[in-house]
Amino acid sequence: MAAPAVRTSGKTQTEPQEAWQASGDEPREALVVQTSFLGDAVLTTPLIAELAMRGPVDVVLTPASAPLLANNPAIRHLFIYDKRADAAGLMGLWQTSMRLRGRRAAPPAPARRERRATRIAYLAQGSVRSATLALLAGCEERVGFATSPGRLLYTTRVTFRDDRHHAERLWRLGFPSQPGIEPPEGSLQPRLYPSVADTLAVDSLLAGTSDDRPLVALAPGSAWGTKRWPFYADLARRLAPRARIAIIGGAGDTDLGKEIAESARSAVPRKHAAQSVIDATGRLSLLGSADLIGRASALVTNDSSPSHLASAMGTRTITIFGPTVPEFGFGPLARRSKPAGLDGLPCRPCHHHGPDRCPLGHWRCMRDLDAERVEALLTSILD
């Protein structure tokens, strides 16, 4: 029987877990540990999709990231590891690992019940704590990057390729014995699965706002202070006469969202203001935000998780890099996307994530990148 079709990132695909059940090969049970940031969780989905072709996949995520990977048909069990609160410390590590060990199960096909699959951990997050978690959870094999702090606990170490996108680095964990392999077309596409409720929430936000103008999403937030480009309000005012603006962000971004929305509304006749500007900050789930980004013609964002949501949803993106650079491996993946950044600044890049304050005080990597320049880039990908 044909595998059921599911909706993913606006495309139709085949459920991957059907593949290993039909293959006749020995199933290989995978445990993917990814307790880094939201964007890293999104960039792990190509690895998860690949592993799901070989056997059941369980995934360990933080409480913040877990909702983002909900509904993913490649994942059998999704475990939350709250390493900074409920499951902090050695006792939390032990209890979580026992929970993972207890949920290990034989594959569901009746003919295979007597066979126990090898369980392989893929350490997408490289700490000693994650490696210990996999060891205690009973993973006979543990695969991770040769540069990770937890590498002494790995059974297989994979080269960390500085010259590749992070989605590809993570995907390569699935091919430890094939260092020369190149990813097939489409295999690095991240995947997210907004639920019906997420889609309905976006429908409700956009109700009455549709017209002929393109919808441009702006995501002005970031966990790191120096990554927050300061000219979104200026950009929104410039764009508003020719585009509908949707501002995306979490509950902590609502003040910023209000300021940007007011700036955009000031540039259009009052009677058109409501249908020209949608302030969605604090009003959508993570997957709801992904759904909204998926409906936009383009996204402008910092080097932060919304850039990766757009990669999953196939939305062309201008990703603004200040203290970081695309060469770190976290650039936008959707077609026709472009990075924006100030070339020729000797202090740039200054930090792998982006410090909270500019160590030199002037913050020129962002202050000298004005709205006019970003607008020109955006226009080039919209045309």
Largest Cα separation within the chain, whole Å, is 70
Q: Do the beta carbons of residue 29 and residue 52 sit within 8 Å?
A: no
From candidates 5, 98, 128, 360, binder to ligand SF4 by CB under 6 A:
360
- Stretch touching ligand SF4 by CB under 6 A, among 65-73, 95-103, 231-239, 360-368: 360-368
Q: Is 269 exposed, middle or buried (0-12, 13-18, 19+ CB in 10 A)?
A: exposed
Binding segment for ligand SF4 among 174-182, 330-338, 353-361, 373-381 (CB under 6 A)? 353-361
Residue 302 lies near ligand SF4 (rule: CB under 6 A): no
Whichever of 25 and 368 has its CB closer to ligand SF4, that residue is 368
- Quote the crossing angle between the two packed helices 196-206 and 286-295, to the nearest 10°: 60
For residue 175, state whether it binds ligand SF4 (rule: CB under 6 A). Answer: no
The Cα 330–Cα 310 span in angstroms is 12
DSSP state of 278: E
Size of the site for ligand SF4 (CB under 6 A): 13
Residue 171 near residue 187, CB atoms below 8 Å:
yes
347 touching ligand SF4, by CB under 6 A:
yes
| Closest listed residue to residue 301, CA positions, set 222, 205, 206, 189 | 222
For ligand SF4, give the closer residue by CB, 315 or 324.
324
Q: Does 353 bind ligand SF4 (CB under 6 A)?
A: no
User: Is the preceding omega at residue 349 within 30 degrees of 0, hence cis?
Assistant: yes
Q: Are 360 and 347 in contact (CB under 8 A)?
A: yes
Taking the least distance from each CB to ligand SF4, the nearer of 70 and 345 is 345
Contacting residue, 365, 371, 374, 378, with ligand SF4 by CB under 6 A: 365
Binding region for ligand SF4 (CB under 6 A) out of 32-40, 98-106, 266-274, 359-367: 359-367
Name which position in 299, 358, 369, 378 contacts ligand SF4 (CB under 6 A). Answer: 358
Nearer to ligand SF4 (CB atom), residue 84 or residue 362:
362
Give the E-state strand segments of the chain in sequence order. 5-8, 11-14, 28-33, 57-61, 77-80, 118-123, 141-145, 156-158, 215-219, 244-247, 277-279, 298-302, 317-320, 338-340
Judged by CB under 6 A, the residue of 149, 364, 373, 381 near ligand SF4 is: 364
For residue 280, the minimal CB distance to ligand SF4 (Å) is: 28
Determine how many CB atoms are found less than 10 A away from the CB of residue 106.
14
Closest CA to 98 of 114, 87, 108, 107: 87
Identify which of residues 215 and 320 has a Cβ nearer to ligand SF4 in the complex.
Answer: 320
Reduced to 3 states (helix: H, G, I; strand: E, B; else coil), residue 233 is helix
Burial class of 356 by CB neighbour count within 10 A (0 to 12, 13 to 18, 19+): exposed
Smallest separation, CB 346 to ligand SF4 (Å): 8
Task: Report long-range pairs for 127-133 (Cβ below 8 Å, ≥24 apart).
Answer: 127/35, 128/153, 129/83, 129/93, 130/33, 130/35, 130/60, 132/93, 132/97, 133/33, 133/60, 133/81, 133/93, 133/96, 133/97, 133/100
Q: How far is the CB of 34 from ligand SF4 (least distance, A)?
A: 28
Site map for ligand SF4, 304-343, x if CB under 6 A?
------------------xx--------------------
Q: Measured from the CB of residue 365, what is the shortest distance to ligand SF4 in angstroms?
A: 3
Would you count residue 359 as binding ligand SF4 (CB under 6 A)?
yes
Give the x/- contact pattern for ligand SF4 in 194-233, rule: CB under 6 A. Answer: --------------------------------x-------
Nearer to ligand SF4, 145 or 321 (CB): 321
Q: Which residues bind ligand SF4 (CB under 6 A)?
A: 226, 322-323, 347-348, 350, 358-360, 362-365
